[in-house]
Amino acid sequence: MHLTGMMFFFWAAGLLGHCLLLVVLLLRGRARTFPIFTALIAGNIIKTLALYAIALHASKHTYLVVYFAFAILDFVLQLGVTFELARHLFCPTGTWAPDVRKGFMILAAASFLIALVLASLPVPPEKTLLGTLLDRGNLLSSALQCELFVGMIAFSTIARLPWKTHVARIAQGLGVYELIGILTEAGHNLTVRNSLSFQILTYVRMSAYLACVAYWIVMLWRDAPRPVELPEDVRKLFFTLKIKVEYDLRKLRAFK
Amino acid sequence: MITIRTVYFVVVLVVFLVALVGAAMYYLIRNRQRKMYPYGKWETLMRRLVAVDRENIVLVARDLVDENGERRFDEGELDLDPSQIWPLVGGIKGLEILERNCQVLVDLVFYAQQWYPEVLAVTEQLRQQAREIELHIQRIKSAEKQGQLESWYPNYAQRAVATYYVMTRRVLGLYEQLNLPGLAELQQSL
């Protein structure tokens, strides 16, 4: 199995983009803040190299099986990144607000069900079991991620929680890419594998991903704007308020 | 070949995408508006204010408190017959309108904080009064569930109306004193 000119370009550009992004994450200290996201990018580098070696030296079936295994890993890591972003957003002090956590769990369960229904609807024409599973799995993954991101936007608006710069940029990139992913994967589920339309959809998805990686490289290289320092009297006021709130909470809990 | 299942898939996909993008846009616009108008928008505040019968409010409230919100102990106190209070208030629906208007009153004073941050104390006072009204209404609702509405509503409904009246006087007084924009509109609405 050999890579065509176009596929080789996407392969090389993807590898270069991921390597640059990993360097940015490590050099700028973002890996400490986003360990799962860093693992996803590192995983993608390993995947790209492994798949290239397999594409050159092994059969097409082996390639598909390994690709499938990496796709599962990718799916799990992407869910992990969503959870990581949600943790930054909804528990900035280290503790999840109970109502937000419950809501987020319900959202995750409902999103999974909706994505599952959506992914099980199309009947792909003339495809192998592995190919069908891959296309449906990709559609499920894109739909689920998009739903979770929209849910996170909704919860953060209701709870009035701000998106920190880097969290927002990672979410924006991933959200837009997954939105394009829904369309391309829906197309993949309706077209014959290796047909021209199938290839074009693959190129669109890959181009979107490359754009997304380029966006992350720039945004994660830049520093987030420095938060405005609180004046000393306001800081004291907040300290007193915190003690008062803790006292009130203890009183309220005693009513139970 | 296009099967009926493919058609279903495309329809569900379009509905799914429209709902997803629509929800995202709605919350993003809400977020943006909050950033653009951190103190709220005057037009939105005015729209949220539901019209009430001002004369009835004054009649019920002034039976219990004076113009400054002080409890009346003169001869004219409690002239109203308890049976008159409920229809004047507009029943439980009327009280619920007052409850919603109270939130607008709090937001109206919060709105003034963009020019006078020291108004914060008044906002907090109003917030407490709004909570007081909420509690009175909760008590009336529980009494209604237990079938004891008649013995509870004159007291709590009148107290809720009196507190609302005091709140409106305070907001109007504040806007007048600080010569804030929108006073005339507020005088007509409250």
**Could you tell me which chain B residue has the CA closest to the CA of A144?**
B20
**pLDDT at res. B76:** 56
**Could you tell me which chain B residue has the CA closest to the CA of A159?**
B31
Shortest Cα distance from A200 to chain B (angstroms)?
Answer: 19
Q: What percent of chain A has pLDDT over 70?
A: 92
CB proximity list for A55: less than 8 A, separation 6 or greater: A1, A2, A3, A63
Task: Pick the more confident residue, B140 or B73.
Answer: B140
**Could you tell me which chain A residue has the CA closest to the CA of B12?**
A118
Q: Residue A248 phi/psi, 5° resolution?
A: -60, -40
Shortest Cα distance from A123 to chain B (angstroms)?
Answer: 7
Query: Is there a contact between B30 and A117 if contact means CB atoms under 8 Å apart?
Result: no
Residues of B in contact with A143 (CB under 8 A): 16
In the predicted structure, residue A136 carries a pLDDT above the cut 90: no
Which residue among B8, B24, B30 sits closest to A121, beta carbon to beta carbon? B8
B79-101: average pLDDT = 86
Task: Pick the more confident residue, B24 or B190.
Answer: B24
Local confidence band at B75 (pLDDT 50, 70, 90 cut-offs): low
Which residue among A150, A157, A190 sits closest to B20, beta carbon to beta carbon? A150
In the predicted structure, residue A162 carries a pLDDT above the cut 50: yes
A8-21: average pLDDT = 93
* Residue tagged 């990139």 (tokens): A173
- Which one of A135, A150, A155, A188 would you mutate to disrupt binding with B, by most B Cβ within 10 Å of its Cβ? A150
Q: Are B49 and B101 in contact (CB under 8 A)?
A: yes
Local confidence band at A253 (pLDDT 50, 70, 90 cut-offs): low
In the predicted structure, residue A1 carries a pLDDT above the cut 60: no
**pLDDT at res. A126:** 62
Torsion of Cα atoms, B42 then B44 then B47 then B53, to 10°: -50
Q: What percent of chain A has pLDDT over 90?
A: 46
Cα angle vertex B59, ends B57, B62, to 5°?
A: 100
Partner B contacted by A89 (CB < 8 A)? no
C-alpha gyration radius of chain B? 23
Which residue among B3, B13, B24 sits closest to A150, beta carbon to beta carbon? B24
Query: Is there a contact between A153 and B13 if contact means CB atoms under 8 Å apart?
Result: no
B105-121: average pLDDT = 86
Q: What percent of chain B has pLDDT over 90?
A: 24
C-alpha gyration radius of chain A? 22
**pLDDT at res. B187:** 86
Local confidence band at B14 (pLDDT 50, 70, 90 cut-offs): very high
Say whether the ipTM exceeds 0.85. Answer: no
**pLDDT at res. A213:** 96
Which residue among A114, A123, A156 sits closest to B6, beta carbon to beta carbon? A123
Element (H, E) at B23: helix B4-36
Q: Are B92 and B59 in contact (CB under 8 A)?
A: no
Most confident of A228-237, B7-16, B121-130: B7-16
Shortest Cα distance from A149 to chain B (angstroms)?
Answer: 9
**pLDDT at res. B164:** 92
**pLDDT at res. B74:** 66
Partner B contacted by A159 (CB < 8 A)? no
Partner A contacted by B15 (CB < 8 A)? no
Partner B contacted by A171 (CB < 8 A)? no
- Distance, in Å, from the CA atom of A177 to the CA atom of A81, rounded to the nearest integer, reads 14
**pLDDT at res. A22:** 96
Least confident of A66-80, B7-21, B76-90, B109-123: B76-90
- Show me where the domains of chain B are located: 1-36, 42-189
**pLDDT at res. A254:** 66
Task: Pick the more confident residue, B139 or A18.
Answer: A18
In the predicted structure, residue B160 carries a pLDDT above the cut 60: yes
